[in-house]
């Protein structure tokens, strides 16, 4: 008796690839959250710095001294509205718990000066029909004041004889008053103590608040928490995207460079499309802002991974490689080369057949020592070169007030290419080779400072569409392999 064996299915189910939408959402959400967290971090740091370094001995932040001067009888402020009338206020808010104000004035003549703060209604009654100069606007750099003048007679009495002032000071020499604000409508008045016309004082305003440090620390804590959550979302999303993109992390073949940047001139290139590519690239640029933020976070994490394990985590390496590939395709289509009119795809993975390709061979091990000095010390000579290739420097005349901007070499060459395309419809072959060489230099340095390879970028302009084979190039493990060696031997 035989047992029937069910035949194997001739139509196996295809392997289902994970849906990347969730990972994309995590990367975008993490990137946006991390970007938003930078604002409170910066604001909190600025407040903490100001609290530590910008206060005087009494804890006040002060404006520079400025001259207030008029031929009128009094200098007044516009109405200072701090809310409801204090006799009817039911909020229970004490503004004095938040800030203390200080006014300092010093008369520029021998006449004693007066400065006071009082309810706006009482000040208006006292100065009704009096010639005044109301401050409308003050700027501090340089110091300048604009006034609104009202003609009138002399006040009926000296300002110090009035009893409605909530804070006042008068006399010769420097005068200072401190006031804890209250809800209500207030006015500030500066006069000669005897009520005579022709007021001239040097004045400064200062403020003190215990909340500067408290708010600064709170912003830093909140920003750091937001940045941490954003970084976690970024990293988790990055790892998921890298695994789902099937990014090739193979090492180089004998004679291959560890970083390969290639581009095929996709002729004929449109005469006019370059005029609107900046519009067409906006969706890519929005995505790349988030991806490069993630690239920075991933590189930061990779720094510690390499420092402690001498290895670059494969999933993180794959993501950063994908960002570089995406960026190279976009810039090759755009204004780093104008080498193709084929719109770049939205993907981190390799795109077979696309005219721009980039590969960084995955290193099995990296130097723990080099990771400490690559980006801030060893790469300095290359930064100077990159400033000439893609940056902007200025040239000016000593002692003059003008500068002549000088664009980087790569933008200038691409501008020449654009003009040539517009008027002749051709891409100068010699310029294409040079443009490729300059781009190749840029991406080699990026891969180096992003800790993806240990090989120091060569000071060599390798022109042309394809990466030249370099005898003795390092292998994926970081050791040199002589040209012609069989990798499988």
> 115-130, pLDDT tens digit by residue?
999 999 999 999 999 9
Residue 262 in this model has a pLDDT that exceeds 80: yes
Mean pLDDT, residues 427-435: 94
pLDDT at 24 over 70: yes
SS3 15: coil
Q: How far apart (Å, rounded) are the C-alpha atoms in residues 463 and 433?
A: 5
Taking only the tens place, the pLDDT of each residue in 210-224 is 999 999 999 999 999
**Confidence bin at 471 (pLDDT 50/70/90):** low
Separation between Cα atoms, residue 73 and residue 132, nearest integer Å: 6
Q: Is the pLDDT reported for residue 8 higher than 80?
A: no
Instruction: Kindly indicate the confidence band of residue 473, based on its pLDDT and cuts at 50, 70 and 90.
Output: very low
Alpha-carbon distance 295 to 430, whole Å? 34
Q: Tens digit of pLDDT for each residue in 443-454?
A: 999 999 999 999
CA distance 201 to 206: 16
d(C-alpha 183, C-alpha 321), whole Å: 60
Residue 400's pLDDT band (cuts 50, 70, 90): very low
Residue 398 has pLDDT above 70, yes or no: no
Give dist(CA 132, CA 121) in Å, integer. Answer: 16
pTM above 0.85, yes or no: no
Quick one: what percent of the chain has pLDDT higher than 70? 83
Distance CA 426, CA 353 (A): 23
The Cα-based distances of 139 to 54, 64, 134, 199, 297 in angstroms read 20, 11, 15, 20, 42
Task: Name which of 431, 337, 462, 442 is nearest 387 in CA terms.
Answer: 442
CA distances from 75 to 68, 198, 201, 329, 342 (A): 8, 10, 10, 65, 69
Tell me what the mean pLDDT of segment 170-184 comes to: 93
What average pLDDT does range 42-69 have in this prediction? 93
Question: How does residue 474 score in pLDDT terms, banded at 50, 70 and 90?
Answer: very low
Please tell me the distance from the alpha carbon of residue 394 to that of residue 407, in angstroms, as a whole number. Answer: 9
pLDDT winner (highest mean) among 287-291, 401-405, 466-470: 287-291
- As a whole number of angstroms, the distance between CA 430 and CA 255 comes to 26
For 317-354, how does the pLDDT look when each residue is reduced to its tens digit (9 = 90+)?
A: 999 999 999 999 999 999 999 999 999 998 888 898 99
pLDDT of residue 126: 96
pLDDT interval class at 240 (50, 70, 90): confident
Output the pLDDT for position 290: 87
**Burial per residue of 156-178, b for 16 or more beta-carbon CB atoms within 10 angstroms, e otherwise:** eeebbebeebbbbbbeeeebebe
What's the whole-number average pLDDT of the chain? 85
Q: What is the pLDDT of residue 91?
A: 52
Write out pLDDT tens, residues 63-119: 989 999 999 999 999 888 887 555 544 455 567 678 999 999 999 988 999 999 999
* Confidence at residue 378, expressed as pLDDT on a 0 to 100 scale: 96
Indicate the pLDDT class of residue 145, thresholds 50, 70 and 90: very high
């Amino acid at each position: 008796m035989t047992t029937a064996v069910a035949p194997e299915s001739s139509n196996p189910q295809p392997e289902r690839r994970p849906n990347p939408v969730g990972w994309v959402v995590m990367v975008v959400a993490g990137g946006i959250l991390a970007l938003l967290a930078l604002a409170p971090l910066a604001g909190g740091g600025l407040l903490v710095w100001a609290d530590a370094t910008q206060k005087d001995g009494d804890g006040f932040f002060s404006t520079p001294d400025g001259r207030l001067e008029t031929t009128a009888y009094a200098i007044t402020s516009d109405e200072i509205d701090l809310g409801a009338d204090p006799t009817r206020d039911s909020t229970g808010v004490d503004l004095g718990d938040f800030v203390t104000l200080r006014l300092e004035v010093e008369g520029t003549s021998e006449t004693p000066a007066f400065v006071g703060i009082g309810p706006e209604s009482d000040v208006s009654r006292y100065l009704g029909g009096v010639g005044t100069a109301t401050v409308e606007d003050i700027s501090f750099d340089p110091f300048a004041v604009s006034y609104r003048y009202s003609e009138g007679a002399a006040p009926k009495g000296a300002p110090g004889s009035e009893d409605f002032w909530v804070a006042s000071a008068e006399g010769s020499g420097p005068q200072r008053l401190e006031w804890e604000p209250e809800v209500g409508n207030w006015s500030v008045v500066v006069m000669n103590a005897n009520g005579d016309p022709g007021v001239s004082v040097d004045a400064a305003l200062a403020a003190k608040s215990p909340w500067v440090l408290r708010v600064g620390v709170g912003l830093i804590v909140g920003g750091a928490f937001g940045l941490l959550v954003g970084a976690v979302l970024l990293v988790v999303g990055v790892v998921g995207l890298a695994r789902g993109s099937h990014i090739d992390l193979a090492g180089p073949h004998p004679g291959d460079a560890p970083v390969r940047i290639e581009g095929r001139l996709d002729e004929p290139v449109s005469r006019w499309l370059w005029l609107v590519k900046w519009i067409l690239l906006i969706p890519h640029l929005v995505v790349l802002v988030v991806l490069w933020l993630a690239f920075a976070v991933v590189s930061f994490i990779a720094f510690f991974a390499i420092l402690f394990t001498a290895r670059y985590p494969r999933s993180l390496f794959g993501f950063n490689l994908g960002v570089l590939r995406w960026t190279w395709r976009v810039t090759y289509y755009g204004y780093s080369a104008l080498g193709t009119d084929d719109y770049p795809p939205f993907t981190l993975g390799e795109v077979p057949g696309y005219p721009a390709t980039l590969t960084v061979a995955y290193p099995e091990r990296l130097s723990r020592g080099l990771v400490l000095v690559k980006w801030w010390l060893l790469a300095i000579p290359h930064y100077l070169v990159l400033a000439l290739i893609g940056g902007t420097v200025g040239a000016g005349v000593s002692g003059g007030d003008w500068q002549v901007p000088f664009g980087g070499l790569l933008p200038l060459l691409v501008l020449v290419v654009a003009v040539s395309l517009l008027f002749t419809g051709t891409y100068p072959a010699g310029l294409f080779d040079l443009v490729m060489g300059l781009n190749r230099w840029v991406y080699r340095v990026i891969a180096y400072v992003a800790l993806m390879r240990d090989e120091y970028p060569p000071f060599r302009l390798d022109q042309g569409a394809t990466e030249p084979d370099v005898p003795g190039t390092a292998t994926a493990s970081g050791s040199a392999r002589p040209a012609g060696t069989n990798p499988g031997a």
